[in-house]
Amino acid sequence: MSETTGAKPANRYYASEETLVDYAMVKAHLAVSVIFLLVAILAGFLYSLQFTNSYPFKGISWLSPGRVRMLHTNAIAYAWLVMAFFGLLHYMLPKLTGQRVLSPVISRFVLWAWVAIVAGTVVGILGGTAQALEWGETPAWLDPIIVVVYLIMAANFIAPVIKSRQKHLYVSTWYIVAALVWTGLNYVMGNFMVEYVAPGTGGAALTSMFIHNLVGLFVTPIGIASMYYLLPLVLNKPIYSHSLSLIGFWGLAFFYPLNSTHHYIFSPIPMWAQYAGIVASVGVHVVVYTVVYNFWMTMRGENAQLGRNIPYGWIMAGTFFYLVTCIQCAFHVTLTFQEIIHFTDWVVAHAHMVLFGTFTFWSIAWVYYLIPKVWHRRLYSRTLAQWHFWLSFLGLLLMFVSLTAAGLVQGYMWKSMAPFIDSVRASVPFWLTRTLTGTAIVIAQLLFLYNLYRTFKGPEVLTDEVHIPLDCSEPANWQPVITGPAAAARPVPAV
Amino acid sequence: MFAFGFLTTGLAPWLMVSRSTPSTVGEFTSVPYEFEDYFKDPAEYEKAVYRGRDIYVREACWHCHSQYIRPVANEALFYGAVSTAGEYENKLQLPQLFGTRRVGPDLIRISGKYSNDWHFAHFFRPRDVVPDSVMPEYRWFFEKTDRFWVFRADGSSMCRTAECTYSADEAKDAIEFFQSDDAQRAQDEGRADPKHQYRTEPAWKPNNDGIAIVAYIQWLGSWLPNGGRPDPLATTVR
């Protein structure tokens, strides 16, 4: 783990024999991912202009708002989050398992292959070969390639877990391994069964599984795993309870795969399947409360850090949004809510809070955390970082309120049997607010990128010389800390 | 758990639906009379409907228009018959296009609600037909013809022919006529000559994509009488 022993470089990819982390890959993945983040958010902003009748590219087929919308959702999922998560896995997994990833050559291949896949997706969607699978509009001709690259990537990341001889895996490893296995199955199911095998209602049941599992069994477990890893580091203390974290994990494994039908409530899908989806979704309460309680008890007494510890602020805001969005989910899947809010902007608000408010916030916390750790640099400007946070935070909060209100207006107007266009007219002020808050979020990410650019142009400082103003120094001999019965096997290192 | 979830909430509903509900729609045995101008035989029409479906997917129409009617929120009164699983068991529903959002109205009961010409005008510039619509314009479903529209400066279209379009020469004549007519009328009414400005614009007609997408839209719900919409003469209101 430490690079200061002066040992000979083991090979061209690792600094020394003891180096576990392929730092070049962590850097490359994260750098590419933040650029993708900006692209994805810009696409969303552009799409929102259509709703206020100010879309700038009228009459250009490949920039039609419908296609740009697919670009927005797919870029957030496959370009920004997947890329960032690959980078985080490159950092976390070797440290969690004490083993390197399978092969640095594979890592580089997957990085470039994934960039090519993202480029192919952009060309495919804008060029008019999108697939009719929500959140999987990646052209059908790309799907087999993605599956192959995904399998290679999964082997690269699962290998260190298998090689590791630890008896007790930290909870992050549980989440990561499960997510990698689930997602492979899910991707094949969604992209091949829905596309070629199951029509109509059955296809909808499978589609709902795909949409839900992409968030529930890929983004959520890897996001939570990364927080179980990062939070103790940022606060320099062990996680509150290892047992609780395992309840959260098994709760997720038990409830999330059964949730999916709640995306098509009141559709022709057999009603018993819809009920099953609703009951399992309410069970998600168990998962959310254990995870959030665990995080909050770990955060307890650390409020003084909020002002100066930048990653901590992002983690805390992300956790807050995670709680809000998951409580909301467990309620709005019920038939009572669904009657009004289904098909409305309420759901759009929810989706933004999940993917931006929670998982994007957490991933941004990681980027801030890794600047001193991996790039060995001081952050260029704390003020810009504060602006980045508050514009994103308030922008998202307002967007959420605005779209949720719009959802209620739309739902009740439809039920009142008013002409459809009346609900559109009534929504315009809310959509305008959405565009304005979106502008704030775009500006925030531009400041972020500028801040990062200036940081990387700045001088490199040796790791141990950095007095990190973010309070996120990592002890050289750090390992994830386990409390409870397992603590005997992995004693807490003296800090 | 993933396998269990797949079996219970994915595979089981699919098998249940596909075994219990025979495919009843999606057979193209004749060309509807509204499309006789465009298609000679049913096979051609069927091909266009499939092509329309692909365009519907390509342009992500399904991101803003759902395709199922729920038994709640007065939807049966507003749109028409509540959707049943059997309606979706055919090849045109592979992949399914249920949709999850309604920025625009649901489309599964749209067949015959508007004329083809309404749809063409709407695709060309939705706000001409539905003021305040937020639907994008789909200019690439249309191609320019060698004929022209004549507009007055206030935007009103000027008609002297049956189709309101003119060849280049006719347009020139028509504008001269309109201007002299304006002058004559002003003189008759004792006003000053208003000197109206006129302009021409190339006339557009739907290309194969435009015809295909409208064929598909008009197919949605066509398997039910009156497109599945509530009988306008029914007097029972809940």
Handedness of CA B229, B234, B237, B238 (dihedral sign): negative
Contact A179, A213 (CB under 8 A): no
ipTM of the complex: 0.89
Q: Any bridge partners for residue A334, and if so which?
A: none
Average pLDDT in the B57-73 region?
95
pLDDT in tens, A3-30: 444 444 557 788 777 788 889 999 999 9
SS3 content of chain A, % helix, strand, coil (to 5): 75, 0, 25
Average pLDDT in the A285-294 region?
91
Q: Any bridge partners for residue A343, and if so which?
A: B101
Residue B230 has pLDDT above 90, yes or no: no
Average pLDDT, chain A: 88
pLDDT for the residue numbered A248: 92
pLDDT in tens, B112-150: 999 999 999 999 999 989 999 999 999 999 999 999 999
Q: Which of A180-189, A262-271, B225-234 has the lowest mean pLDDT?
A: B225-234
pLDDT for the residue numbered B30: 86
Q: For the range A136-140, what are the long-range contacts, defined as Cβ-Cβ under 8 Å and sequence gap of 24 or more?
A: A136/A187, A136/A190, A136/A191, A136/A210, A136/A214, A137/A70, A137/A73, A137/A74, A137/B60, A138/A74, A138/A78, A138/A191, A140/A191, A140/A195
Residue A470 has pLDDT above 80, yes or no: no
Q: Are B88 and A206 inside 8 Å of each other by CB?
A: no
Note the residue count of chain A: 495
Q: How far apart are CA A52 and CA A40, in angstroms?
A: 20
Q: How far apart are CA A19 and CA A288, in angstroms?
A: 36
Which of B9, B15, B97, B133 to mutate to probe the A interface, most A CBs <10 Å? B9
Q: Are A206 and B10 inside 8 Å of each other by CB?
A: yes
The pTM assigned to this predicted structure is 0.89
Q: How far apart are CA A411 and CA A432, in angstroms?
A: 19
Q: How far apart are CA B226 and CA B233, in angstroms?
A: 12
Average pLDDT, chain B: 88
What tokens were used for A86?
């690959």
Please tell me if residue B6 touches chain A, with a CB cutoff of 8 Å.
yes
- CA distances to A98, A174, A293, A487 from A153, in Å: 19, 17, 33, 32
- Find chain A residues with C-beta within 8 A of B132's C-beta: 421, 424-425, 428
Handedness of CA A7, A13, A18, A23 (dihedral sign): positive
Please tell me if residue B7 touches chain A, with a CB cutoff of 8 Å.
no
Average pLDDT in the A72-92 region?
95
Average pLDDT in the A424-442 region?
96
Radius of gyration of chain A (CA): 22
Q: How far apart are CA A236 and CA A160, in angstroms?
A: 25
pLDDT for the residue numbered A472: 37
CA atoms within 13 A on the CB side of B214: 28
Please choose, from the candidates A412, A413, A414, A360, the residue with its C-alpha nearest in 3D space to the C-alpha of residue A388: A360
Residue A2 has pLDDT above 60, yes or no: no
Residue A485 has pLDDT above 80, yes or no: no
pLDDT in tens, A306-346: 877 889 999 999 999 999 998 898 889 999 999 999 999 99
Please tell me if residue A62 touches chain B, with a CB cutoff of 8 Å.
no
Q: Are B89 and A137 inside 8 Å of each other by CB?
A: no
Q: How far apart are CA B158 and CA A296, in angstroms?
A: 70
pLDDT for the residue numbered B20: 64
pLDDT for the residue numbered B25: 60
What tokens were used for A399?
């967007």
pLDDT in tens, B181-196: 888 988 898 888 877 8
- CA distances to A337, A340, A423, B66 from A408, in Å: 10, 7, 10, 18
Q: How far apart are CA A114 and CA A10, in angstroms?
A: 27
Q: Are B95 and A261 inside 8 Å of each other by CB?
A: no
Backbone angles phi, psi at B38, to 5 degrees: -100, -35
Q: How far apart are CA A194 and CA A191, in angstroms?
A: 6
pLDDT for the residue numbered A168: 80
Average pLDDT in the B81-95 region?
89
